[in-house]
Structure 1
Amino acid sequence: MTELATPETQPAAAIPPLAQARVVGPYAQTAIDTAAERGLSPARLAVTLGLPAESLAPATDNLPVERYIRLLEVAAEACGDPLFGLHVGERTRLSTFAVYGLVLCSCRSFRAATEQTRRFEGLAHDLGRSRIEEHGAIAHYVWESPWLTTLPSRHLPESVMAGILSFANWLAHTRVPVIDVAFAHAAPDPALIPAYEQFFGAPVRFDAPQNCARFPAEILDWPVPNADTSLFPVLARHAEQLLAAREREARQPEIINAVREKIVALLAHDSARLGDVADALGSTPRTLQRKLAEAGTSYQTVLDATRRELAEQYLREPGMTMTEVAFLLGYREQSSFNHAFRDWYGMTPAAWRERARSGS
């Protein structure tokens, strides 16, 4: 038996339950743009999905995973495009992957990029997760989704596999050689197979045990051309913060996430009081307080936690003054911010910033 090795050292981002699983706007936008190219406007697509006509133009909000998968199927049928998934993948660009795409561009090698994909894929979507396996001179890119049993879709795995190859080609500045590609779903019309093999540049089979692309393992040690590795620590730290926030949201009741989102939007306008947030959520202060109590928290607790998280984020930005940080957190006076920060951390914001810079 061939010895199995894996280059991955990063922990994979967990996939939340279906109710919390989502696709970020930039990732969904690639599919929306593909449909628009084929004559299906974002407005028509939105209405077909039961959404307001303007909600997908552009797709700035996250889409639930279930809705995104349906979007792929609806668009493919409405456009009369049996290769819609491949065409979505073909359009994949740096912007498709949002923040974590920038992290990949700062990696020294493709091996490092695969490790960061494993870590930060959840910043783009909760559709599934990638992993790399090495079998001697052959590497396997494997993509698994927990949703395809209950939400069957041919276009989802095809769009993901095609998208990964398109992005890898862009990152490498050349076509990445592929040995073969396998999909777990049933084969489409045999007349379409040549189009698959032309796109991947390799034999493609279906009804396989898993979605997998095999390629020479030496590619993992290719350098990423023009990578600015000096940016990696900053970008990776930002991605870690976003991932931690995302994982926290997946664990928390929806009402807490909704309140936090409104607080973030209103803080810099000095209007993040309970009544303001309740109005923004179409509720009353009393009802909002009751719902938060049922979720085991209070408005003040959520406000303080949000301010603390944002304070850490802002204080790590070297160009941001203490006055600017205080303003963005909704404090009219810097002294009020300093007092609150001492209560949180037992030190001044300036001392915390210096400690963060020194890494101590």
Structure 2
Amino acid sequence: MMSTVRGTALLGFKEFSVSQGIDPDSALAEVHLPEDPLNAQLSGAQFNALVELCAVRSNNPLFGLQFGLRQGTQSLGTLLYAMRSTAHVGEALNLLTRYFHIHSDGALVRLERQAGSALLLYEVTDGTLVSVRQTVELAMGIAACLLRELLGHAWKPRALMLRHCAPANRIAYRALLGVPPRFDSPFNAWVFDESLLAIPLEATDTRCQQLAQQHIDELARVTLQELPSYVQKRLRNELANGPVTLRDMAVYMMISPRTLQRYLRAQGTRFQELLDDTRQAMAARYLCDSSINLTQLGSLLGYADLSTFSRAFTRWYGISPQKWKQRMQHTHR
């Protein structure tokens, strides 16, 4: 299923592209986007292709990250306004995770707590995209600006986790972000002290709070996503913990397995088909963007062993995962 991104995700794109020696109109045309994309609804594939293209055109592997840092939080629009009207940082980030799909329905933002650390995680969920390095780093740049804006001087990240493999020049990341990323991680996330979530935000006046609440209510009316897309997002979250069955998904959604399957059939699909598509997309992305070994990858996708994963992969692509990865590496070179 094709994902969409709001045109505001390209705020400041033209100015930044010119600073990188790129003709922005030519780049937009090459990925079939209009010269004025800000009021358009972009496909996730177009947005991803544009950022990847610009990284190549500018000969700057940090294009996405630097664009995200330059753009900052302005692309979040009224959602940022609603976040600022919450009581504390944790509540603001929970609001972001709940309504981020309004800005991009091809990605997922989560907030988790682990052993005294908070993790703000970002995952591209559009299964049609293979290499998403630039898009991920752009999003993590925006997230850094958001956390700095909410926390001020208290913002001291413990780590930046990135799932893709390390580039040749790691030093530039520290200069831009203050910390060197940990590449080849199992997820993309900013990691920071959990206690920072309790930091209160400056109170806004009553009228501001009313406007923010109206905006939240408007967002709530569109949170019922198309069921297949919702199931796939849940699968991406849960597969790393082991196999996910139709019953598991139905229990999570508090409906019967039969009802869930009936709803999916009404949308022209089945649970097993969604599970297969999700695993296929995740496998391709990990093999393209990461140096994770095949045994680990099979486990992350919920397979019992490597041979089962390899058989599934060969069914999808007609060749083994080892040969597929070699072919992709040759293509990129």
TM-score range, shorter chain: 0.5 to 0.7
1:173 has 2:152 as partner = yes
Partner of 2:221: 244
Larger CA Rg, structure 1 vs 2:
1
**TM-score normalized with structure 1 length:** 0.58
Q: 1: CA distance between counterparts of 2:206 and 2:196? A: 19
Q: 2:176 — aligned with what?
A: 199
For 2:54 and 2:154, the matched residues in 1 are separated by 28
Matches within 5 A, 1:183-222: 183-189=162-168, 192-222=169-199
Structure 2 counterparts to residues 101-112 of structure 1, below 5 A: 101-112=80-91
User: How many Å separate the matches in 2 of 1:213 and 1:167?
Assistant: 11
1:39 to partner: Cα distance:
2.9
Cα deviation, 1:47-86, whole Å, max 9, x if unaligned, reads 22134xxx23352111111110001101111122110111
Amino acid at match of 2:215: H
Which of 97, 100, 109 is the aligned partner of 1:130? 109
2:10 pairs with 1:28: yes
Gaps of 5+ in 2: 228-333
Deviation at 1:245, TM superposition (A): 4.2
Q: Is the 8 A contact 1:106 1:230 kept in 2?
A: no
Where do 1:1-360 residues align within 5 Å?
Answer: 17-18=1-2, 21-51=3-33, 55-57=34-36, 59-147=38-126, 150-174=129-153, 176-189=155-168, 192-225=169-202, 227-228=204-205, 231-242=208-219, 244-245=221-222, 247=224
* Residue segments in structure 1 that go unaligned for 5+ positions in a row: 1-16, 252-360
Structure 1 residue 31 displacement after superposition: 4.1
Deviation at 1:216, TM superposition (A): 0.6
8 Å CA contact 2:148–2:155 kept in 1: the answer is yes
% same residue: 22
Conserved? CA contact 2:89–2:200, under 8 Å: yes
Separation of aligned partners in 1, 2:224 and 2:21: 37
Aligned counterparts of 2:174 and 2:214: Cα–Cα separation in 1: 39
In 1, the alpha carbon distance for the partners of 2:180 and 2:59 equals 25
Is the Cα–Cα contact under 8 Å of residues 99 and 239 in structure 1 kept in the other structure? no
Q: Partners of 1:212 and 1:225 in 2: how far apart?
A: 26
| Structure-1 separation of matches of 2:5 and 2:16 | 16
SS in 1 for 2:52: helix
**RMSD, aligned α-carbons:** 2.7
- 1:196-238 superposed Cα distances (whole Å, 9 cap, x missing partner): 1222222311111111221011110112246457523432332
Q: Deviations over 1:79-102 (max 9, x none)?
A: 221101111221233421122111
Gap change, CA 1:34 and 1:151, over 3 Å in 2: farther
Answer with 192-201 or 219-228: which moved more.
Answer: 219-228
Tell me, in whole angstroms, the C-alpha distance in 1 between the residues paired with 2:90 and 2:37.
34
Query: Cα distance, 1:28 vs. partner?
Result: 2.4
Query: Are the structure 2 counterparts of residues 104 and 33 from structure 1 closer, same or farther at C-alpha, using a change threshold of 3 Å?
Result: farther
* Deviation per residue, 1:139-184 (Å, 9 max, x gap): 1121122236742121111111111011221233336110111111
Instruction: Report the Cα distance in structure 2 between the residues aligned to 1:145 and 1:47, rounded to whole angstroms.
Output: 24
Q: Which moved more, 1:83-92 or 1:146-155?
A: 146-155
Separation (CA, whole Å) in 2 of partners of 1:241 and 1:181: 33
Q: Secondary structure at the match of 1:45?
A: helix
- C-alpha contact (below 8 Å) 2:174/2:180 kept by paired residues: yes
Distance 1:24 1:38 in 2: 23
Give the letter aligned to residue 23 of structure 1.
Answer: V
Amino acid at match of 2:64: G
**What TM-score, normalized by structure 2, do the two folds share?**
0.62
User: Per the alignment, do residues 149 and 199 of structure 1 end up closer, same or farther by CA in structure 2, a change over 3 Å counting?
Assistant: farther
Pair 1:226–1:165, CA change in 2 (3 A) = farther
What is the alpha-carbon distance in structure 1 between the residues aligned to residue 206 and residue 89 of structure 2?
13
Post-superposition offset of 1:136: 3.4
Read off the aligned partner of 2:28 and give its amino acid letter: A
Cα distance in structure 2, aligned partners of 1:193 and 1:158: 13
